[in-house]
């Protein structure tokens, strides 16, 4: 992975929000040097193995951490239900116009909010 200051900023943000407040503790958990973590925070080279371990330990989306795609916690919300999958598969063999119309229809329906338990 190449030098990337935006990635370094995301790494710093994830560390600041995570359970590891001290870089020393994070480095020890990852079995890397403090200098390596510092280098990552400044946009330096990160191996894929280290990036995966970092994302796992900090409980952040790997896509967000490396590429800035989605949100930090996107990985927690990524599972789709059987019904959602059924809808996606059914739409695949429909025309673009039909797909667009169905998206418009669904978006016009007000979202249902789950009932709160007292």
Chain segment 15-34, per-residue pLDDT in tens: 998 888 789 999 999 999 99
Of the candidates 31, 36, 44, the residue with the CA atom closest to the CA atom of residue 2: 44
Topology (CATH) of 5-76: 434 Repressor (Amino-terminal Domain) (1.10.260)
Whether the per-residue pLDDT at 96 is higher than 70: the answer is yes
For residues 118 and 47, the model is more confident at 47
Confidence (pTM): 0.62
Q: Contact, 26 vs 36, CB < 8 A?
A: no
Cα–Cα distance for residue pair 105/73, rounded to 1 Å: 28
Task: Give per-residue pLDDT as tens, 58-89.
Answer: 999 999 999 999 888 877 776 778 888 888 89
Give the per-residue pLDDT at 114. 64
Q: How many CB atoms lie within 10 A of CB 61?
A: 21
Domain with CATH 1.10.260.40 in the chain: 5-76
């Amino acid at each position: 992975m190449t030098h990337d200051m935006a990635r370094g900023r995301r790494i710093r943000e994830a560390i600041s929000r995570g359970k590891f407040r001290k870089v020393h503790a994070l480095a020890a958990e990852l079995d890397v040097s403090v200098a390596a973590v510092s280098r990552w925070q400044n946009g330096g080279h990160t191996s894929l193995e280290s990036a995966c371990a970092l994302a796992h330990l900090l409980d952040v989306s790997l896509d967000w951490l490396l590429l800035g795609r989605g949100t930090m916690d996107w990985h927690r919300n990524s599972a789709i239900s059987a019904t959602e999958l059924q809808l996606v598969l059914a739409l695949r063999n429909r025309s673009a116009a039909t797909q667009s119309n169905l998206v418009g229809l669904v978006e016009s329906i007000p979202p249902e909010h789950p009932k709160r338990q007292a």
